[in-house]
């Protein structure tokens, strides 16, 4: 089977982790790995894998549009606002891993099918990918939920320059996505870069305000959602809850990384790069099915 070619823009932690995951995909291959720093570890890793590289960033795709059909943007929210215009003109399926909010907000466990018809999808944030499905499950049981708060803690070592530049966008985009996907009236999102040694795993705590929580039903819905997410993020697990106290339900989620680029404490990479590869493979499968169907 011919693999669909992808381009990766951004050669930092997220882009390099994507590169490694794409390299073992049955459906995808990397046609271009592009950034701006010729001395980056990501560029060196790509060259060692025999992948075509460039330091001209998105211009490399403009100059050779045939190098890829899908483009992962792992730069920053500000840069993607410029890249999105170019990728639309080139007719590329853009998977945005920055909190830019340009494209259709996407959580594969919740709205994969409709996202495959979009030109540009936004994977929100690592915290959003980890928590929104759980909050959606809670809201399914308790549409009376008044308020929800997410605290995402990640190892400081796993946060590269792009992540640090996007801290403000992280909180705003995650909050907006929670409200959009779940319908909750008020939401808040916080990210903590934890400098602890040894490095901590990605940890997400969800606080939901409601009266008379139906804990047995909440457990069933949350467990079902956890199993769904583990299909594409193997290290995803609910570690606490739901538990109720003083009108508040608490659920905790941890993500253990696969250790593809950074060590396993970097679950914040895996939760979003696994989602990105999952969407790209689904898109490739759909396009292939359409092409085969068109020939019959």
| Domains of the chain in sequence order | 4-123+272-295 (3.40.50.720), 126-266 (3.30.360.10)
Three-state SS for 83?
helix
User: In this model, does residue 294 exceed pLDDT 70?
Assistant: no
17 and 165 Cβ atoms separated by less than 8 Å: no
For range 262-286, the mean pLDDT: 96
Could you list the active site residues?
Answer: 126
β-strands 93-96, 70-73 pairing? parallel
Q: Give per-residue burial for 64-83: e unless 16+ CB within 10 Å, then b.
A: eeebbbbbbbbbbbebbeeb
CA 225 to chain centre: 16
Question: pTM of the entire structure?
Answer: 0.93
Mean confidence (pLDDT) of the chain: 94
pLDDT confidence band for 1 (50 / 70 / 90):
low
User: In this model, does residue 66 exceed pLDDT 90?
Assistant: yes
- Token pair 């271009």: residue: 32
Give the pLDDT confidence score for residue 216 in this predicted structure: 97
């Amino acid at each position: 089977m011919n693999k669909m070619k992808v381009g990766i823009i951004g050669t930092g932690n997220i882009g390099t982790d994507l590169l490694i995951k794409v390299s073992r995909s049955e459906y995808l291959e990397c046609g271009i790995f592009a950034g701006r720093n010729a001395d980056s570890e990501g560029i060196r890793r790509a060259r060692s894998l025999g992948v075509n590289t460039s330091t001209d960033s998105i211009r490399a795709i403009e100059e050779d549009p045939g190098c890829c059909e899908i483009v992962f943007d792992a730069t920053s929210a500000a840069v993607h606002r410029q890249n999105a215009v170019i990728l639309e003109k080139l007719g590329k399926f853009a998977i945005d891993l920055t909190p830019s909010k340009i494209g259709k907000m996407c959580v594969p466990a919740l709205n994969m099918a409709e996202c495959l018809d979009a030109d540009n999808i936004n994977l929100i944030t690592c915290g959003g990918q980890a928590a929104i499905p759980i909050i959606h499950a809670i809201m399914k049981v308790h549409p009376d939920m008044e308020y929800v708060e997410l605290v995402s803690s990640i190892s400081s070592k796993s946060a590269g320059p792009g992540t640090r530049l996007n801290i403000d966008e992280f909180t705003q985009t995650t909050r907006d996505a929670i409200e959009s996907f779940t319908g909750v009236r008020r939401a808040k999102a916080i990210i903590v870069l934890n400098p602890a040694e040894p490095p901590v795993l990605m940890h997400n705590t969800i606080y939901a305000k409601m009266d008379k929580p139906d804990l047995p039903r909440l457990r069933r819905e949350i467990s079902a959602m956890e199993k769904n997410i583990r299909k594409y993020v193997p290290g995803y697990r609910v570690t606490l809850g739901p538990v109720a106290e003083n009108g508040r339900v608490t659920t905790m989620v941890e993500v253990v990384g696969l250790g593809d680029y950074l060590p396993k404490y970097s679950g914040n990479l895996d939760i979003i790069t696994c989602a990105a590869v999952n969407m790209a493979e689904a898109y490739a499968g759909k396009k292939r099915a359409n092409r085969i169907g068109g020939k019959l």
